[in-house]
Amino acid sequence: MKEKYKMNIEKVWNEWQDADKYSGVFRVGNEQGVLFEKCCGFRNKNEELPNNSDTAFSIASGTKLFTGLGVCKLINNEKLSLADKLCDILPYDLGQIDKNVTVFHLLTHTSGVGDYIDEDDENCLEKLQDLYNKYPVYLWERLEYYLQMITPLPPKFEPGERYGYSNSGFVLLGLVIEAVSGIPYQKFIEDNIIAPCGLKHTGFYRMDSLPANTALGYMDDGRTNVFNLPVLGGSDGGLFTCAEDLEKLWHAIFSNKILSDEILQVFLQRQSVINDKESYGLGVYRFEDSDNLFYYAVGGDFGVDFFTAHFPGQKITISALGNTQINTYPLLEAMALLLSENGC
């Protein structure tokens, strides 16, 4: 069976049109070990240092999975509730943010809070670069810094009205974690998720002080992304991790190492609807149809492309961590189709 898995997965890889250009790590594993792995390209092009199975990559918005787990950890410990209002938690002037926004709204992307990085805007990348020019990335060290970019923005819709992806919402959740726990967001995630789960190559690494075996991100013009991403990752993006650690994380999630079973089920449940097959839990995407159910996180930014997905029925984890802007989402779609067809 394992050999058949490998053959079918390799076929998916070989049929992916960008396989020969990919720079990163693509890995498929289960409880017995690695089923398939491809390490491609360089973590440092100038020195020709190759990406390998332990290389840590920035995962951009994939960080939201960790933030969702962190908030749910506080709920699990009865220090916070989904119904708590943001204005009652944070000691800041929240400007135009609706006073009825709750933790639930933020976790499910239904808050309507104006987004400082509006991914619905067709000119998002250009506007993001303008934002970085106005607010230099070397100053993005503390979450409070983001408030000046968020609080002046008008709401996009009424809280609870619909799903609307929000980076601002997850920045605010990071501030919630800090207000409730009394420690910086990054340390809370390190102490409550990264360390307990044994994630050895995962952390909020500074862009100007990356540890060994960490991939530099490369833009389409060949430059690194050091001047195009916040110097320190926050609650909406910027964590670094590797493929093996992601497998450990999913195992920890589904073995109740992070959350009790009661809270885990709420975390995984469909809380807001994206389309007829995709929905969102409390920090994690869901895909469900008659043939398959899996959970996933995705991320993309300048010099970053990422997804990780867990298929609980097959107990398989699939991750792609890239240090260019080549889109790996077609790999996830092809793998989901493969597993749903029971062809492995």
Query: Could you report the per-residue pLDDT of 169-185, keeping only the tens digit for each?
Result: 999 999 999 999 999 99
What pLDDT does 92 receive? 96
Second CATH level (architecture) for the domain 2-340: 3-Layer(aba) Sandwich (3.40)
Pairing, β 293-301 against β 285-288: antiparallel
Token couple for 122 = 């067709």
Residue 297: pLDDT band (50, 70, 90) is very high
Could you read off the pLDDT of 225-246 as tens digits, one per residue? 999 999 999 999 999 999 999 9
What pLDDT does 81 receive? 98
Backbone angles phi, psi at 247, to 5 degrees: -65, -40
What is the pTM for the complete model shown? Answer: 0.96
Which region among 147-151, 194-198, 300-304, 337-341 has the lowest average model confidence (pLDDT)? 337-341
Identify the sign of the CA torsion 78, 285, 274, 70. Answer: positive
Token couple for 42 = 């360089």
Backbone angles phi, psi at 62, to 5 degrees: -60, -20
Q: What span, in angstroms and rounded, lies between the C-alpha atoms of 62 and 305?
A: 10
Please say whether the beta carbons of 300 and 61 come within 8 A: yes
Non-local CB neighbours of 150 within 8 Å, separated by 6+ positions? 95, 97, 113, 114, 116, 168, 171, 172
DSSP 137: G
Name the residue among 273, 254, 256, 278 with its Cα closest to residue 329.
278
The residue behind tokens 């409070």 is: 144
Backbone angles phi, psi at 257, to 5 degrees: -80, -25
